[in-house]
Amino acid sequence: MTRSPILDETDRLRAELPENFRDDIVESLYAEAARISATSLSHGERPARPTLDKLLDRILTHRVWGFLAMGALLFGVFWFTIAGAAVPSDLLSNLLVEHGHEQLNRLSRLLSLPDWMSGLLVDGVYLSTAWVVAVMLPPMAIFFPLFTILEDFGYLPRVAFNLDRLFAKAGAHGKQALTMMMGYGCNAAGVTATRIIDSPRERLIAVITNNFSICNGRWPVLILLGTVFLGQLAPPPLAAVVAAASVTTVAALGVLTALVVSWGLSRTVLRGATSVYSLELPPYRPPRIWRTLYTSLIDRTLKVLRRAVTMAAPAGAATWLISNITVADASLAAHLVDLLAPLGWLMGLNGIILLAYVVAIPANEIVVPTILMLTMTLGTNLFGAEQGVLLELGTAETATVLVQAGGWTLLTAVNLMLFTLLHNPCGTTILTIWHETRSATWTAVATLLPVGLGIVVTSLTAAVARWAGWG
Amino acid sequence: MSPTPSPPTTSACGTCALNNAANLRRLGVDPSGHDLVVALAGNPNTGKSTVFNALTGLRQHVGNWAGKTVDRAEGGFEYHERRYKLVDLPGTYSLLSTSEDEDIARDFLVFGRPDVTTVVVDATRLERDLNLVLQILQITTRVVVAVNLVDEARRHGITVDFRHLSRELGVPAVGMAARRGTGIEDLLDAVERVALSPTSFGGRRLIHRNRRLERAVSHLAERVARHVPGVTNPRWVALRLLEGDATLERAVAEGRLRELVADPAELRSETVPEEPDA
């Protein structure tokens, strides 16, 4: 085969070059950039960096104060969300669930629709959709803008900076903290963001642990659980504070889990050296409040809500169907719940919750409404509910239903919050993991490891609680 | 998923002298039937996505941190009745390393051959960002340097001499504050100027300080230029060959170098057959 003369020439010339000629290229580049920059810029009297920025960084990235500030900021955001969402949530629930449902029922009677059709559409599809909107829209409309303002201000890289040391100790890449920040919005986006990590080993760790960042879909569920159960335990003035503290705790547990799992992986199947990198702390920028409000409402809130609604409709229909199709003297749902009950008991949850998780695999957002619907169908009939119909309930009534009809305890609520943190990623994220890793094995690991962990952790808390006599 | 484009400006707005981008029509996600391709490159967190949104009217998520955009985003705009496709590349500190985001950016600049590459740089971190500009100038000289965040730089007491910067780099450099929407018109003018220029701009070529390396590069570049008439970046091709770039080596061996690296404007206007390489 004849070689190209250019390639021959290349080989000849390369042989004459010093071994480290690549370093020389970089050196020439840097020297030139420094020269051009120095001659193009003129500095005024003012210091290169405003002192306010420096002061803020000294606090927000401090070894001790940094973490306290982080906790305080998160807590503040949750408190504001929970306290602020209560009134609009009740209003919406009144409007959509109580009145809307009644009107639709009247309409279906007027059109004399067959029972199964009005049941499926009005009681199944409409009610669960209305419930999702009423319960999720207000907290999201408050939470997402607040979070986006923090991001716009430049706070997220400081969080990454604080966590960086911990991730390095866990044998993971420091940039993993950044991909986790992305995961707090959406795990699928967080998994894609791991492309910024060069080393395949560290990238896999980041992919697998991204699910421990609580995503857009799970924040509202946690906020709801915290409000309905833990908040109700405290006297009313403190309710929002307790609820916010519980959500902050779960978020912190998520970071802890990510660290522990990264540590475990980097010491077993994904062993190797930690790479060094530089993390840039951008200047603080005054957030553009109106723009932030607008984009976070349109891009985040409505997007998440739309997804929840599109998932809630079929899930509502599915719930209604399994509650109303009878096989051998009991509904399909009842059989399934019986089947899942032992595992549910072990995990300090119950069969209904696990069945709801199966129904809600495509989107975690609708777990709570599905649980409610199933509980009211299968548990003691409290509010005169029909089969598979989600009744119009306020926050206090929701708790009553679950405690009295579902036999819930504090343990159930706490374990459900833990399970919300520790379970399989949603369908979209699993697909993204497959797309990014192209490996069935690692996709399976990333999917099953969190559920496995969730089962172990909730079983442990359940065992401890029962041993101590709380369960 | 699909972000809605902003409503088209009415004719009254379009002719208003106060509208600083009167000739800009944002096309959102629809870059179909474009005449020209503009790539948006730059270091992380310099405001590429903000510039992208300002030009296309899209609302790609913007965050104040490095590494937010890892994928390629595309959008369109129309300026002076020409349709442009805008490609937002992931932010990279250099084009030398091997991580996936840097590969995406480099491959697009080299093989996607955009008509214009707009490099967004941060006025407050000019020295660091110029490293990337210089690297891109080795690949293509159809470049506009958009010095963003001039408002922030001013707050820090830094002023930029754009004429000097343009002269040093050999390509237009414009100042802007994309967050406030200032400087968009200047950028569009510069992009148009470079896009429509029949000849390449005289972008700054890097002279290597190591003399043996410099001799090897110029020698090989000469051969490449002779071999592939119309190649705009023979020195870059030479350097990559010396570094052992597998894609380019294969292209040389198979006689496809010209289709890979020639100037897009020239490729469009004429079709000179490549000298067979024996």
Q: B interface mutation test: which of A25, A152, A162, A307 has the most B CBs within 10 A?
A: A25
Q: Average of pLDDT values for A125-139?
A: 77
Q: What span, in angstroms and rounded, lies between the C-alpha atoms of B29 and B58?
A: 7
Inform me whether the C-beta atom of residue A52 falls under 8 Å from chain B C-beta atoms.
Answer: no
d(Cα A412, Cα A470) in Å, to the nearest integer? 11
Q: A316: Cβ–Cβ under 8 A, 6 or more apart, which residues?
A: A124, A125, A126, A127, A128, A129, A369, A373, A390
The mean pLDDT value for A46-64 works out to 76
B143-148 and B116-122 beta bridge pairing? parallel
Instruction: Judge: B159–A44 Cβ closer than 8 Å, yes or no.
Output: yes
Q: pLDDT grade, residue A268 (50/70/90)?
A: confident
Where in chain B are the domains? 11-196, 211-269
Is pLDDT above 90 for B38?
A: yes
Closest chain B CA to residue A46: B157
Q: Does A26 touch chain B (CB under 8 A)?
A: yes
User: How far does A323 lie from chain B, in Å, by closest CA?
Assistant: 34
Please, what is the average pLDDT of chain A?
A: 81
User: Regarding beta strands B73-79 and B143-148, do their DSSP bridges make them parallel or antiparallel, or are they unpaired?
Assistant: unpaired
So what's the ipTM on this one? 0.79
Q: A348 or B111, which is more confident?
A: A348
> Using the beta-carbon criterion (under 8 Å), do A282 and B157 form an inter-chain contact?
no
Choose from A16-25, A191-200, B13-22, B187-196 the range with maximum mean pLDDT. B187-196
Strand-pairing partners, residue B79, are B24, B82
Shortest Cα distance from A428 to chain B (angstroms)?
13
Q: How confident is the model at residue B10 (pLDDT cuts 50, 70, 90)?
A: very low
- CA separation for the pair B158, A46 (Å, rounded): 9
Tokens of A405: 């009809």
For residue A397, the model assigns a pLDDT of 61
Residue A386 C-alpha from the chain's centroid: 33
CA separation, residue B157 to residues A53, B45, B267 (Å): 15, 20, 45
At A432-447, the pLDDT tens digits run 898 888 899 999 999 9
Å between A26 CA and nearest CA of chain B: 9
Q: Which of B174, B95, B76 shows the shortest CA–CA distance to B140?
A: B95
Residues of A in contact with B179 (CB under 8 A): 285, 288
In chain A, the N- to C-terminal Cα span, in Å, equals 79
The pLDDT value given to residue B5? 45
DSSP readout, A81-145?
A: HHHHHHHHHHHHIIIIIIIIHHHHHHHHHHTT--HHHHIIIIIIIIHHHHHHHHHHHHHHHHHHH
Name the region of A435 (left: φ>0; alpha: ψ -120 to 50; beta: rest): alpha
At A352 the pLDDT is 87
Which residues in A lie closer than 8 A to residue B208 (C-beta atoms)? Answer: 24-25, 28
Tens digit of each residue's pLDDT (9 = 90 or more) over B204-246? 777 787 788 888 988 998 988 888 777 777 888 888 888 887 7
- The C-alpha of A59 sits at a distance from chain B's nearest C-alpha, in angstroms, of 19
Using a cut of 0.80, tell me whether the model's pTM lies above it.
no
Identity at B61, one-letter amino acid code:
H
Residue of A nearest to B122 (CA): A282
Tell which CATH architecture fits domain B11-196: 3-Layer(aba) Sandwich (3.40)
Token reading at B69: 């955009």
User: Is residue A23 less than 8 Å (CB to CB) from chain B?
Assistant: no
In contact, B84 and B187? CB cutoff 8 Å: no
What does the pLDDT average to over A134-150?
79
| Lowest-pLDDT range of A163-177, A390-404, B22-36, B225-239 | A390-404
